[in-house]
A and B are shown apart, each in its own frame.
Chain A
Amino acid sequence: MELLEKISEELQNGNFIDVPKLTQEALVQGISPAVILSDALVAGMDVVGEKFRRDELFMPEVLIAAKAMQAAMTVLRPKLIETGVETAGTVVIGTVQGDLHDIGKNLVGMLFEGAGYQVIDLGVGVAPERFVEAVRTHKPDIVGLSSLLTTTMPQMREVIESLVEAGLRGSVKVMVGGAPVTEKFAQDIGADGYSPDAASAVEKARVLTTR
């Protein structure tokens, strides 16, 4: 579909002015929100992710593509809710207590949303108790923890332990990420998964939830 291809292309270019306009046009033309999401937006982000993995694109370019995606989602979200699109799952994300970084987390959130997940973003400096509360309330499939400071890495363990204490550990898969975090660290603290970047986070989440 020409229009959908155009949306995907402009999204890849980071055109956050035109993408939402084109999305609106697609809706007016009667294309279903679900199809716009999967065939234009997610398809576009998939290409961005793939190119990023191959080092053909760099972070700033990923960020503006994500910004375009976010702009499109603002238009699309209400329509998706209206038509009751089945979500791929629910994800709770947050940056751990003592840490205020959010760019990576926000990107992950957008990519998850783009992949059809319902995303609950708890923000930054989130205490373990709030993660536990969110798990209890929203019953997510995935909890994503972000930490960009070495000093706040141990907080991730505290979130996991708080989930154990609440008897909720078995009901979610916990993923961790952030610049200083490593695969080994993730294993050591008992997380279910680690991904080195936002793009691979969604893929990892899919693997974790299909087993």
Chain B
Amino acid sequence: MSTTIGLGIDVGGTNTDSVLIDLENKKILSFAKASTTRADLAIGIADSLRGLDKRHFPGIALIGLSTTLATNAIVEGARRRVSAILIGYGPDDFPPGLREDVVLIRGGHDVRGEERAPLDTETLREIVQHKKGDTEAFAVCGYFSVRNPDHELRAAEIIRQMTGRPAVCGHELSPKLDAVKRATTTILNAHLIPIIHHLVDSVQRVFLRNRITAPLMIVRGDGSLMGISAIMNRPIETILSGPAASLIGARFLLGQEGAVEDAVIVDIGGTTTDTALLRNGSPCLNPEGARIGSWQTNVQAIDIRTIGLGGDSQVTLDYDGNLRVGPKRIIPMAFLGAEHPEIEAELERIRGRCDHLPLYSAPDFWVAWGKNPEGHEERTGRRILDSLGKGPRSLLQLSEAADLGMTDVRREMARLEEKGLVQHCGITPTDFLHANGTFAAWNRGTALLALQILCDRHRIALPALREKLAEAMERKIGLQILDLILAEPSRLRRNQAGCDVCLLFWDQCFSREKRSDHVRFQISLKDRLVGIGAPAHAFLPPVAQKLGTSVTIPFHAGVANAIGAITGAVALTDEALIRPVLGQFRLHSSLGVEIFAGLEEATVRGRDLLAKVIREKARAAGAGEAEVTLEEKEHWATSRTGESLFMEKRLIARAIGSPRLEPSRMLPGVSDRSSDDQ
């Protein structure tokens, strides 16, 4: 029996997927899906595990987890009790939105790593004493701390001694300049610390109940894995964990069919389509740092583009017959029809009265969502909610029930949707796919009826409507992919308004109607497309064709995320910088600043220090044998008169290693594989 099995779990926005892979021979043994339980993620995880083949559990030697927990927590504004000690910062050096956590302390350094003012330990101690009863985690950030971490390190030590709480420093999270980004990153990180502790606690219990004792690792936003003891202090690095796992999973699946170097990964989901790049087998990262919601951090994560376009995006036609998809997500008519077949009668009725509907109206329905609240709704809202209490209702029915014009009903429904009391249902790409037989999961009849109403109202035949949808989807996805590719070498940004020639170009490439007879534009993409997500089968091949490249949709694409959660590697980088100052050479590293008389001396010390530190960090992150490489970049400038100037030497260390596997402790003797050969 194999003892090199990995359990991969992806906790996404809608689904919690799990997969068992034999890491040695790279075989997928079992997979399962369950619904994500937002209130307590562990429940969804337990549900998902229940769908797996339990016979493999004793062989599990590693668990990998990817989750949107960090991203969601930040975007939804989850706040814990955090104190941010900013050393040598001014009032403009951090985002105003984080003001309430911040305390400013004198100290900090300058661009050369020299102290601008001594660290005010007295005030620090007073503040920590005052705050310690009320703080779950501390963030410590110093001005120019990446040129000299001394004040951050000393302050963090004082905090730990006085409170026993976690205190994470800015320079530990990134070696990059920009004090504002550093403060943002470090403070948000502190907010996430209690949240990730809670998650890890509850999932550990689920594993134990299932008799799984393997070490747990979490996927970072760059696709690499990190053991929980290391990630507990740096949870901010798990943002974009889900999409990163997707990328690693796609790479794994492609790798099964041959070596993978370059590809564009397109993940078409229910609400959004995400695109990202693989270059030389590695995910492309965003050099500016990850942006989450309105916060700009310096976290190294994948460069992923997202548009509000997916299988369940709302499809509408305007007065001029232009079709729009998304960004709003609604319940597809096919799904509604599967749950409530009685709406077919209502759809027939609407069809008969089609000419009396507003032109912009597709057949719209609404369902009540959650508990029906008492009171607080005045007459119109009350009548509508009462009507919905009996089942899904069309716009027409609600207009009749509330005795109100359809425009007013729409306005009311938008209000109720915002309050979370109702859900909108209507035509989506999923319905088109049901109509043409590609999907068969739900009610084809309702999809067809709904589409027919839309066709009748706008006097357009169904094949023509289908063309419009295909064109809209292909154009949006195609341009998204182009934006990603063009941004690569020179950070080119497409002007959304566009000059007329560019618009003509896009029309030529994506529009069927607007084809010129006299000039042909053909895009030819070097990288192939890789599609994941159920709608990929339907919408991606034509996009590939328009972009002049091939498309692959791997067999297990449906669980690519969970696969990626367990097939990544531990990967870390660290940097040191040598700069000339007044005839001497300063070595700046995560340990501090050291001064040398000669460049060679400084370099030797820098190499030793980096190698040692990164090996230690790799081991602490859960890597087995780590391969360490060192890159050295010397920068010399030449003046106009030909004089040579030594500007700097940058040392970059990289460590990559497979995670350490630990076979199960539950069954004695299982680690001796030879006795298990059948």
**Which positions in A face B, CB cutoff 8 Å?**
128-129, 136, 150, 153-154, 157-158, 161-162, 164-167, 169, 179-182, 184-185, 188-189
Nearest CB of B to A111, in Å: 21
Report Cα–Cα, A55/B641, bound state, in Å: 21
Report Cα–Cα, A129/B109, bound state, in Å: 11
The 3 closest A-B pairs by CB, nearest first: A167-B180, A180-B639, A150-B639
Q: Contact between B93 and A167 (Cβ–Cβ < 8 Å)?
A: yes
Q: Contact between B110 and A157 (Cβ–Cβ < 8 Å)?
A: no
Residues in A neighbouring B177, C-beta threshold 8 A: 161, 164-165
Residue in A129, A162, A167, A181 whose CB lies within 8 Å of B181: A167
Q: Does B638 contact A (CB under 8 A)?
A: yes
Q: Does B376 contact A (CB under 8 A)?
A: no
Residues in B neighbouring A154, C-beta threshold 8 A: 580, 637, 645, 647
Q: Contact between A182 and B640 (Cβ–Cβ < 8 Å)?
A: yes
Given the known A-B contacts A136-B92, A165-B143, are A185 and B637 also in contact in the complex, defined by CB atoms under 8 Å?
Answer: yes
Report Cα–Cα, A112/B161, bound state, in Å: 56
Q: Contact between A185 and B143 (Cβ–Cβ < 8 Å)?
A: no
Residues in B neighbouring A166, C-beta threshold 8 A: 93, 179-180
Q: Contact between A182 and B647 (Cβ–Cβ < 8 Å)?
A: no
Residues in B neighbouring A185, C-beta threshold 8 A: 637-639
Report Cα–Cα, A169/B181, bound state, in Å: 12
Q: Does B635 contact A (CB under 8 A)?
A: yes
Smallest CB gap from A182: residue in B: B640
Report Cα–Cα, A165/B90, bound state, in Å: 12
Residues in A neighbouring B647, C-beta threshold 8 A: 154, 157, 188-189
Q: Does B111 contact A (CB under 8 A)?
A: yes
Q: Does B510 contact A (CB under 8 A)?
A: no
Residue from A154, A167, A169, A185 whose CB has the most chain B CB atoms within 10 Å: A167
Q: Contact between B643 and A180 (Cβ–Cβ < 8 Å)?
A: yes
Residue in A164, A169, A188 whose CB lies within 8 Å of B635: A188
Q: Contact between B110 and A129 (Cβ–Cβ < 8 Å)?
A: yes
Q: Contact between A128 and B640 (Cβ–Cβ < 8 Å)?
A: no
Residues in B neighbouring A179, C-beta threshold 8 A: 640
Q: Does B144 contact A (CB under 8 A)?
A: yes
Report Cα–Cα, A65/B407, bound state, in Å: 71
Report Cα–Cα, A162/B93, bound state, in Å: 12
Give the contacts of B577-636 with A (CB-CB under 8 A): 580, 635
Nearest CB of A to B151, in Å: 15
Q: Contact between B640 and A181 (Cβ–Cβ < 8 Å)?
A: yes
Given the known A-B contacts A136-B92, A154-B645, A181-B640, are A165 and B179 also in contact in the complex, defined by CB atoms under 8 Å?
Answer: yes
Q: Contact between A165 and B637 (Cβ–Cβ < 8 Å)?
A: no
Q: Does B412 contact A (CB under 8 A)?
A: no
Residues in B neighbouring A129, C-beta threshold 8 A: 110
Residues in A neighbouring B640, C-beta threshold 8 A: 179-182
Contacts A166-B179, A185-B637, A188-B647 supplied; 4 other A-B pairs, CB < 8 Å:
A128-B111, A166-B180, A167-B179, A167-B180
Smallest CB gap from A169: residue in B: B178
Nearest CB of B to A166, in Å: 7
Mark interface residues in B626-670 (1 if CB within 8 Å of A CB, else 0). 000000000101111101010100000000000000000000000
Smallest CB gap from A129: residue in B: B110
Main secondary structure of the interface of A (DSSP, over half): helix
Residue from B93, B111, B638 whose CB has the most chain A CB atoms within 10 Å: B111
Q: Contact between A164 and B178 (Cβ–Cβ < 8 Å)?
A: yes
Q: Does B197 contact A (CB under 8 A)?
A: no
Residues in A neighbouring B143, C-beta threshold 8 A: 165
Report Cα–Cα, A127/B143, bound state, in Å: 16
Smallest CB gap from B184: residue in A: A167
Mark interface residues in B443-467 (1 if CB within 8 Å of A CB, else 0). 0000000000000000000000000
Q: Does B38 contact A (CB under 8 A)?
A: no
Q: Does B349 contact A (CB under 8 A)?
A: no
Report Cα–Cα, A181/B178, bound state, in Å: 26
Residues in B neighbouring A162, C-beta threshold 8 A: 110-111
Residues in A neighbouring B645, C-beta threshold 8 A: 150, 153-154
Given the known A-B contacts A161-B177, A165-B143, A188-B647, are A153 and B110 also in contact in the complex, defined by CB atoms under 8 Å?
Answer: no
Report Cα–Cα, A182/B586, bound state, in Å: 26
Residue from B144, B178, B641, B645 whose CB has the most chain A CB atoms within 10 Å: B178
Q: Contact between A167 and B637 (Cβ–Cβ < 8 Å)?
A: no
Q: Contact between B643 and A158 (Cβ–Cβ < 8 Å)?
A: no
Residues in B neighbouring A161, C-beta threshold 8 A: 111, 177
Give the contacts of B78-126 with A (CB-CB under 8 A): 92-93, 110-112
Smallest CB gap from B183: residue in A: A167
Q: Contact between B637 and A188 (Cβ–Cβ < 8 Å)?
A: yes
Q: List 7 A-B contacts (CB under 8 A).
A: A129-B110, A153-B639, A158-B111, A161-B177, A165-B178, A182-B639, A185-B638
Q: Contact between A167 and B110 (Cβ–Cβ < 8 Å)?
A: no
Give the contacts of B141-158 with A (CB-CB under 8 A): 143-144
Report Cα–Cα, A161/B93, bound state, in Å: 15
Nearest CB of A to B655, in Å: 27
Report Cα–Cα, A169/B111, bound state, in Å: 15
Nearest CB of A to B613, in Å: 24
Report Cα–Cα, A144/B181, bound state, in Å: 25
Residues in B neighbouring A136, C-beta threshold 8 A: 92
Residues in A neighbouring B93, C-beta threshold 8 A: 166-167
Report Cα–Cα, A30/B647, bound state, in Å: 56
Report Cα–Cα, A188/B93, bound state, in Å: 27
Q: Contact between A180 and B92 (Cβ–Cβ < 8 Å)?
A: no
Report Cα–Cα, A166/B94, bound state, in Å: 9
Nearest CB of A to B173, in Å: 16
Report Cα–Cα, A76/B180, bound state, in Å: 42
Report Cα–Cα, A184/B93, bound state, in Å: 31
Smallest CB gap from B111: residue in A: A158
Report Cα–Cα, A180/B645, bound state, in Å: 11
Smallest CB gap from B176: residue in A: A164
Nearest CB of A to B409, in Å: 46
Smallest CB gap from B94: residue in A: A167
Report Cα–Cα, A119/B300, bound state, in Å: 39
Q: Contact between B178 and A150 (Cβ–Cβ < 8 Å)?
A: no
Smallest CB gap from A167: residue in B: B180
Nearest CB of B to A71, in Å: 32
Nearest CB of B to A186, in Å: 10
Nearest CB of B to A176, in Å: 12
Residues in B neighbouring A169, C-beta threshold 8 A: 178
Report Cα–Cα, A166/B181, bound state, in Å: 10
Given the known A-B contacts A161-B177, A166-B179, A188-B647, are A153 and B637 also in contact in the complex, defined by CB atoms under 8 Å?
Answer: yes
Nearest CB of A to B116, in Å: 8
Residues in B neighbouring A188, C-beta threshold 8 A: 635, 637, 647
Report Cα–Cα, A167/B96, bound state, in Å: 13
Smallest CB gap from A159: residue in B: B111
Nearest CB of B to A132, in Å: 10
Nearest CB of B to A10, in Å: 35
Nearest CB of B to A84, in Å: 29
Give the contacts of B188-245 with A (CB-CB under 8 A): none
Smallest CB gap from A136: residue in B: B92
Residues in A neighbouring B635, C-beta threshold 8 A: 188
Give the contacts of B48-95 with A (CB-CB under 8 A): 92-93
Report Cα–Cα, A130/B597, bound state, in Å: 30
Nearest CB of B to A91, in Å: 22
Q: Contact between B178 and A182 (Cβ–Cβ < 8 Å)?
A: no
Q: Contact between B641 and A167 (Cβ–Cβ < 8 Å)?
A: no
Nearest CB of A to B675, in Å: 60
Report Cα–Cα, A168/B637, bound state, in Å: 25
Nearest CB of A to B593, in Å: 15
Report Cα–Cα, A164/B534, bound state, in Å: 43
